[in-house]
A and B are shown apart, each in its own frame.
Chain A
């Protein structure tokens, strides 16, 4: 009965105009934020606590001959020093692949790897003592270039081949395609290490509850990832650990990766051994050294086309440096390779993607997950090809872009025209043709400053696809005062996605958003909801929230139907009222009646995406259930004397499927664009023979307010997707994907030079300008 009503309500919801979805509403957590109220992990430390500091390796590669902890352990204020021998459970802090120990034994494989932990009564005592743990190393040859690491006989980083994954796409007959092409070019593009750099560094605080359970408060995206690993590290039964996500100051991928597990384990181990509260937090330089980074890629694209611009063949070789541990590198290479042709239809594709171990610091989840690298190389080669063919950047895109009926590189059939719409809107809103004329005039009149315009486009396979089980759970319950509480293991760390879950709930129950509250993710209260990654919270979590809200609505409807003498399925839920046949009861009256009748208003919502299918031998199939599309136009001014690139304007059009929270989307569009601009122009973590030489914010510079473009135009395109809640498509990561590609295209337009390596720092731009003049 109830299920049937829920189904009917779903139909009603989808048929009528939305009440809150798509309207301009404030985030549910905005008021607290402007009052400075959200409690981040460091804010929750009360009373005396112990401090845990890691002893980190000072060399990138070597055998550990001896660890002498006694000089540290005997210092004043030091409670305990731990090495791998002291770990009560399993010495494993890898999230998907168990290749990374929490504390190194036998060998260190990258700079900054943790070899011991010092627990002190003050941070100062712990930090000073950490310098007194004596570690003897036998240095080993350091391999920092993945091309060297791939050679037969190269020193091995782990007890396995340095090539972790060879990911393939085989579509059509690429040799034939090249033969039939009138123009064939081959170019190599390179991208750099950057760090996601959430401004709150990794931090965890743990304490012992009565009954011997350890509670760990942590800054993380993935509640259950931390819980599952720390339970094993401690070697305790599951009920002896509780993990709560505190307000989290930025995620960007690294907080879903392995370092949140590290700090949680550090703190919990200290509490486990001492029974006392313990705090473990990374310093900024520690975070910038060991926090997982965006993978550097070397991508060689060979592309062939007919004289009329039609792409016939595409060969990509992608080499991905995942550092000393795999983390998510084997999945990032998959996403990058799947997207290696960009959003274009190519009949013949051959791609080889390699995930390679080196002695650089670990790369892992970072907003975009391989897409920025793949799209940079795809968009650049397309522009270079267009120039060879005498076509404009717009012409070559119009000829080749994915449209309804097109087949992707994996031969997945595209069903919707989201890409075309984004392209049209971006070109129109940027006034492309007019700008091109103005730029030509400007450049004729100016010798030093040169302006340029560029476009880049994307498609982005939604949510996990082949990267994992794409499910979510949401617990929703109604309190006596009528307030609806939404609690899930999915986390808020800045994206606003949990507000989307609240909006979906309010929409379904016909309540104002102020009636919906969010509770903190807590393993003692919610089941695993899957990871909060891959821009999947609104899309997949939204479906689970909808499922839960429909269940609540169906239960409430049965009680209200009796009160109104009506059929439950005919009830209208709106403005906090339940109506039928001209009669009305308030939401609170029905809720009250449910409580009187002991009818439970607590449900678990669940959703799992349809499984995706593809052949690992050929890469052919449908790896993702739906795609987000986008087009970004960048306008820049290049100072040819200083090499400085100024981004004047960005025009961003993304097909979000359904805008659940448009105000939130604008912040994500702008913020992602600015983060992407940092990737394009400024940021690079520099490894010098494996040693990170700029782990601080004065030599690794990220965009400030003064670096932002004069204008970012955010255009919301809505072409309903087949999977997400109310048609929503993934958006959290997307805006970071294209800035590098479109800015580099604009620089090429301004200067005539295709700069094939990121970032486009003033120094690099100048060097390229000098080279071209010789």
Chain B
């Protein structure tokens, strides 16, 4: 079947199987390899993408269900030439360790920043709960969010 969606503002029309997961289509068919998989059952959140601006686990969504929607991955976070302020802040505060959860963490915080730029610490932590980071960079992520909301 055909699925049609915008990924990072580019329109894609792609042939998908009815049981094909959004994460697999994004990764394998469209090459957005920043979308990671850590468990395949919705526990870890590493496959999070933004669907119409809201975080979803792309391993729990079938590709056809995303048809007609707007998808954002970390490849589409900057404006093409400049980093998104959160990306810069991640670099500045030293948030990157193994890097495997970084795309998901950035997207979750982008959603929070877009909807509630002045979110307090508890709200930031609550949002980040959906992404596991075994390196334990949570406080760095929080720090990055704080830096951006201060601006």
Q: Which of A30-38, A98-106, A130-138, A546-554 contacts B (4 or more CB under 8 A)?
A: A30-38
Question: Counting CB contacts under 8 A, is B98 at the interface?
Answer: yes
Instruction: Decide if B136 touches A674 in the complex (CB within 8 Å).
Output: yes
Residues in A with CB closer than 8 Å to B90 are: 30, 33-34
A708 within 8 A of B: yes
Q: Name the residue among B32, B126, B137, B138 with the largest chain A CB count within 10 angstroms.
A: B138
**Distance (Å) between the CB of A682 and the closest chain B CB?**
13
Is B39 a contact partner of A704 (Cβ separation < 8 A)? no
Contact A26 B140, beta carbon cutoff 8 Å: no
Q: What's the Cα separation between A527 and B94 when bound, in Å? A: 31
Closest to B32 in A: A36
A299 at the interface (CB under 8 A from B): no
State in angstroms the CA–CA spacing of A698 and B132 once bound together: 12
| Docked complex: B71-129 residues within 8 A CB-CB of A | 73-75, 78, 83, 87-88, 90-103, 106, 124-129
Instruction: Give the complex CA separation of A706 and B92 in angstroms.
Output: 23
The answer to whether A670 and B98 have CB atoms under 8 Å apart is no
Contact between B140 and A34, CB atoms less than 8 A apart: no
Specify the main secondary structure of chain B where it touches its partner: loop
7 new A-B contacts, CB < 8 A, other than A200-B36, A712-B139, are A29-B99, A33-B99, A34-B96, A36-B103, A37-B34, A697-B39, A703-B138
Stretch at the interface among A409-417, A491-499, A587-595, A601-609: A491-499
Do A663 and B102 touch across chains, with their CB atoms under 8 A apart?
A: no
- Count contacts between A and B, CB distance < 8 Å: 167
**B43-A708 in contact (CB<8A):** no
* Bound-complex Cα distance A706 to B129 (A): 6
Residues of A within 8 A of B140 (CB): 666-667, 670
How close is A201's CB to chain B, nearest CB, in angstroms? Answer: 8
Which residue of chain A lies nearest to B92 when distances are taken between CB atoms in the complex?
Answer: A26
**Bound CA span A712–B39, Å:** 29
Do B96 and A708 touch across chains, with their CB atoms under 8 A apart? no
How many chain B residues touch A (CB < 8 A): the figure is 53
Instruction: Name which residue of chain A comes closest to B73, CB basis.
Output: A36
Contacts of B151 in A (CB 8 A): none
Residues of B bordering A, CB below 8 Å: 27, 32-34, 36-41, 43-44, 46, 73-75, 78, 83, 87-88, 90-103, 106, 124-129, 131-142
**Min CB distance, A472 to chain B, in Å?**
21
Closest to B28 in A: A45
Most buried by B among A30, A33, A37, A42: A33
A754 in contact (CB, < 8 A): no
A670: chain B residues within 8 A (beta carbon): 136-140
Chain B CB within 10 Å, residue with most, of A27, A32, A199, A673: A199
Please indicate which of the listed interface residues B88, B124, B136, B137 has the most CB atoms of chain A within 10 Å of its own CB.
B136
In the bound assembly, the distance between CA atoms of A391 and B6 in angstroms comes to: 67
A36 touching B34 by the CB < 8 A rule? yes
Interface residues of A in 673-726 (CB under 8 A from B): 673-675, 696-698, 702-706, 708, 712
Q: Nearest CB to that of A673 among chain B residues?
A: B136
Contact assessment for A250 and B135 in the assembled complex, using a CB-CB cutoff below 8 Å: yes
> In the assembly, what is the distance between CA of A34 and CA of B78, in Å?
10
- B100 nearest CB neighbor, chain A only: A249
**A interface residue numbers (CB < 8 A to B):** 26-27, 29-40, 42-43, 196-201, 247-252, 283-284, 493-496, 663-664, 666-668, 670-675, 696-698, 702-706, 708, 712
B40 in contact with A27 (CB, 8 Å): no
Is B137's CB under 8 angstroms from A493's CB?
Answer: no
Given A35-B74, A704-B132, CB of A494 within 8 Å of CB of B99 = yes
B125's nearest neighbour on chain A, judged by CB, is A705
B94 close to A35 (CB less than 8 A): no
Give the residues in chain B near A712, CB-CB below 8 Å: 139
Chain B residues whose CB sits within 8 angstroms of the CB of A196 once the complex forms: 134
Is the CB–CB distance between A705 and B99 below 8 Å? no
Question: Are B94 and A666 interface neighbours, CB within 8 A?
Answer: yes
Q: When chains A and B are docked, how far (Å) is the Cα of A251 from the Cα of B140? A: 20
A674 and B98 within 8 A (CB): no
Q: Which residues of B contact A43 (CB under 8 A)?
A: 27, 33
17 A-B pairs with CB atoms under 8 Å apart are: A26-B94, A33-B102, A34-B88, A35-B34, A36-B33, A36-B102, A198-B98, A249-B36, A250-B134, A252-B134, A284-B38, A671-B97, A674-B139, A696-B39, A698-B43, A703-B136, A705-B124
